[in-house]
Amino acid sequence: MSRMCTLRSVLALAILLLVTLWAVPAYPWHGTGNIAALAIDPVTPTTLYAGTCDRGLFKSTDGGASWTATGLTNISVSALAIDPKTPTTLYAGAVTVDCATGALLPPVEAGVFKSTDGGASWGYIGPYQVVYALAIDPQTPTTLYAGTYWEVFKSTDGGATWSTDGGATWSATGLFSVQTLAIDPVTPTTVYAGTAFASPEGWPGFAWEGGVFKSTDAGATWSATGLVGGDFAVLAIDPRTPTTLYAGGVWANDWYTWVRGLFKSTDGGATWSTSGADPCCGVAIDPRTPTTLYAGDAKGAFKSTDGGATWSAINTGLTDILSAYGVGSAVGTPTIDPLTPNTLYAVTAIGMFKSNDGGAIWSPTGLFQHSPLVSLSLNPTVVTAGTSLTGTVALITAAPAGGVTVALSSKHPSIATVPASVTVPAGATSANFAVSTSSNPNSTAVVITAAFDDATRSALLTLTLMPAVTLSSLSLDPTSVTGGTPSTGTVTLNTAAPAGGTALALSSSNTAVAIVPAIVTVPAGATSANFTVATSPVTASTSVAISGTYSGVTGGAWLTVIPATTLSSMSLNPSSVPAGSPSTGTVALSAAAPAGGAAIALSSSNTSVATVPGSVTVGPGATSANFTVSTSSSCTSSAVTISGTYGGVTRSAGLTATLIADTVTIQQADYYASKHELRVAAKSTGSTATLRVNVTSSGELIGTLRNLGDGKYGGQLSWPVNPQNVRVVSSRCGSATSVVRSK
């Protein structure tokens, strides 16, 4: 009885904190943006479900481009799970709440909700607990687990009834919060739980009591793994090698010594090691290539291709947008499309992002709940008093039908005046507005502000008085040209030119080699202007001084005019190579390369056969340079033309890539259903070849055979079902197929 009272008190406290922290958004279609749970339909991965902390559950059927509310509204969703065999059946851990006010909705329901029609309608199935984690037995989906504040609940009848482990086996003293659950996909009776919370008794003797626990009897009993004493909210199991698992969180020896990061075990949790310095703490495993991991933490998203030994940041289009919104760089655990693992989803404080290329580039999805106003910019930011300038407001996504009207204001309207608002038209992402300034300001700085919904963006405008105009500099680009090729000169003033513009006199020290116009005019309001320096062909390198003069001030720069050099020949050695082997190309010039060298543009007539670098540079004073022609391991003999261009001249040479295929034979192809294991033995006449095993009907890669030496190959490959017929493909182009015998 006392425990039930304590449970209700804890639940009430948790709900009170949620109500206190929730801020009612200005528009009902925004919300806070925080997404607490994300799940992908394993059969149709373009169908997604996202649970928010204040708007209920949303659904997308087009890979995140657009979203609609499901029947689970006015609720805080903390966990999601989808039946892998019947994806229209799904479960959500949630608490009922009125999103408009943050108040609890009677009757208060905290626990698991179930839908059997893809989210259209829902029913409450208990237990009466705050549910942090859900997990479904992949082989028997009517069996599911719910991690709560006190314990793990289990149902074997799709949530109709629940039993509990009682929480007694977690620790003799600790009070626990079960944050995450993971089921061994091969042996579903093995379940892992990540727990948090610490016992406050005897403060300041604060003891970390959470950890990673393991059950080998489907949750009936639990025991500690080698990672106990801390707070662990993320678990991930290698689908191919389930004894390999990862845990994200904080591990503490005591109050003063702790390690925050990603931990890895290769022996089913008996021992653990840290997996690289970054990241912490969420991790997801590529189901087809388990050595490829994705992670999210407070610094953004990360990727590892070596099982967590090393990591690289993958934040293009992600943390820059988060920073633009001023919400930091925190990214939740990425979610991987099970059928197309290069497609990823990441949740953040402002909504969901998607990547279609393994995290190289991210973009926001349609579930983006904050104001789209990103920035306010001024051009220029420094102006002479009395002149006008342009302001620009920018949105993160295109404005909807009717446009987006952004309010504008000036800190000092007597100094700088802006319109009351500017509208970004439907379909556009930005709009300009005019800013006018006073010719007699009483201050030299003013803040211009733009506001829309919950976002405010500002920019500083600086005013200056009109100074005396003088020539600041004269520059040339480039400073060295081949005779007959022009260069561009630029004159720059110390301040903007007055009304009517500023005319500067130009001159050349050698008009037979370089010619400039008599004057160049900097337009009113501008600080610079360009002009063209025309050159004539020369037989020897010649330097010419180009000068500009205004108001008694002269500036200048030197231009070097050099003789023309062309490409005289292109050769390849050898001109015929086995496919996959390189050849060496050589380019030769008609004369020594100028200072800075000569960049010869290179091309291949068929890049699928042979590739070359974009260019090769002949060093200053040299007449030739080599480059490498790489050929592909093609399974056909092909001819290709390699060309180089320089000085208006193109030279070419032919290359033949010849197929040398090996012969592959299969000696064994047996599938052991009890072990989900395919055993293959093969031979190749190419002893250095790489042999890969594919499913003949679908082309799916099962695995790579080990090279046993002397042309022999073999392997024991994990595969969930008998592939019936396999094809062994060699990197040397040979292949063979075989019927798989069931053992």
Q: For 199-207, what is the mean pLDDT?
A: 43
Q: Which carries the bigger pLDDT value, residue 168 or residue 680?
A: 680
- Residue 419's Cβ-count burial label (10 Å; 0-12, 13-18, 19+) is exposed
Place of tokens 């052991």: 672
Phi-psi category of residue 311: left, alpha or beta, with phi > 0 → left and psi -120 to 50 → alpha: beta
pLDDT (0 to 100) of residue 209: 65
Q: Which CATH class name applies to 373-464?
A: mainly beta
Residues 6+ positions from 228 with CB-CB distance below 8 Å:
210, 211, 212, 213
Find the mean pLDDT for residues 186-202.
77
Question: What is the per-residue pLDDT for 2?
Answer: 28
pLDDT at residue 172 is higher than 60: no
Q: List strands edge to edge, sheet with 553-562.
A: 480-482, 553-562, 542-550, 502-508, 519-522
Q: Is pLDDT above 90 for 678? A: yes
Closest CA to 157 of 135, 136, 142: 142
Q: What is the pLDDT of residue 731?
A: 83
Neighbours of 608 (CB within 10 A): 10
- 640-668 pLDDT per residue, tens: 999 999 978 899 999 998 877 889 999 99
Are 599 and 614 in contact by the 8 Å Cβ rule? The answer is no
pLDDT-derived band at 454 (thresholds 50, 70, 90) equals low
For residues 56-77, give the mean pLDDT. 89
The rounded distance, in Å, linking the Cα atoms of 283 and 291 is 12
- 48 band by pLDDT with thresholds 50, 70 and 90: very high
Chain-wide mean pLDDT for the chain?
85
Confidence of residue 119 (pLDDT cuts 50, 70, 90): very high
Q: Per the structure block, which two tokens stand in for 336?
A: 């991987």
pLDDT exceeds cutoff 70 at 102: no
- Residues 609-622 have a mean pLDDT of 93
- Rounded-to-integer distance, Cα 412 and Cα 293, Å: 53
Report how far residue 101's alpha carbon sits from residue 97's, in angstroms, rounded to the nearest whole number: 8
The predicted structure's pLDDT at residue 210: 78
Residues 499-545 have pLDDT tens digits of 889 999 999 999 999 999 999 999 998 999 999 999 998 888 899 99
Architecture of domain 1-24+32-130: 7 Propeller (2.130)
For residue 205, is pLDDT > 60? no
Q: What 3 state SS string does 395-408 have? A: ECCCCCCCCEEEEE
CATH topology of domain 567-658: Immunoglobulin-like (2.60.40)
Identify the DSSP state of 591.
Answer: S
Percent with pLDDT over 90 in the chain: 55
Is the model's pLDDT at 135 over the cut of 50? yes
Range in 85-99, 252-266, 374-388, 585-599 with the lowest mean pLDDT: 252-266
Q: How far apart are CA 179 and CA 639, in angstroms?
A: 61
d(CA 471, CA 335): 59
What strands lie across the sheet with 273-274, from one edge to the other? 177-183, 191-196, 210-215, 223-237, 245-252, 258-265, 273-274
Domain 664-742 in the same topology as domain 1-24+32-130:
no
Please check the confidence at residue 107 and state whether its pLDDT lies above 70: no
Q: What confidence tens digit (pLDDT) does each residue in 289-308 have?
A: 999 999 998 889 999 999 98
Cis before 279 (ω within 30): yes
Question: Could you tell me how far CA 438 lies from the centroid of its own chain?
Answer: 46
Q: Where are the domains of the chain?
A: 1-24+32-130, 373-464, 471-562, 567-658, 664-742
For position 623, what pLDDT does the model report?
92
Longest dimension (CA), the chain: 105
Task: Give yes or no for residue 31 having a pLDDT over 70.
Answer: no
Which residues contact residue 493 at a Cβ distance below 8 angstroms, ignoring those fewer than 6 apart? 469, 470, 471, 472, 502, 522, 527, 528, 550
Q: What is the band of 200 on the pLDDT scale with cuts at 50, 70, 90?
A: very low
pLDDT at 21: 27
Confidence of residue 97 (pLDDT cuts 50, 70, 90): low
The per-residue pLDDT for 9 is 31
pLDDT computed for residue 511 by the predictor: 94
Burial class (CB in 10 A: 0-12, 13-18, 19+), 173: exposed
Tell me 16's DSSP state: H
Nearest in space to 221 (alpha carbons), one of 179, 169, 177: 169
Residue 558 predicted with pLDDT over 80: yes
Any bridge partners for residue 735, and if so which? Answer: 729
HSE at residue 141, side-chain half, CA atoms within 13 A, is 12
Is the predicted pLDDT of residue 410 greater than 50, yes or no? yes
Least confident of 371-375, 416-420, 712-716: 371-375
Mean pLDDT check: name the lowest of 6-10, 90-94, 452-456.
6-10
The pLDDT assigned to 718 comes to 95
- Which residue shows structure tokens 């948790």? 14
Please provide the CATH number assigned to the domain covering 664-742.
Answer: 2.60.40.1130
Which whole number is the average pLDDT over 215-228? 90
Q: Which two tokens stand for residue 568?
A: 């005289």
In angstroms, the Cα distances linking 372 to 171, 291, 389 are 48, 37, 24
pLDDT grade for 130, boundaries at 50, 70 and 90: confident
Tokens of 611: 């590739």
* pLDDT (tens digit per residue) in 230-246: 788 889 999 999 999 99
Query: For position 286, what pLDDT does the model report?
Result: 95
182 pLDDT above the threshold of 90: yes
pLDDT at res. 721: 94
Residue 720 near residue 676, CB atoms below 8 Å: yes
Cα(502)–Cα(297) distance, integer angstroms: 56
Task: Classify domain 471-562 by CATH number.
Answer: 2.60.40.10
Q: Which has more pLDDT, 104 or 25?
A: 104
Q: In the predicted model, is pLDDT for residue 85 greater than 70?
A: yes
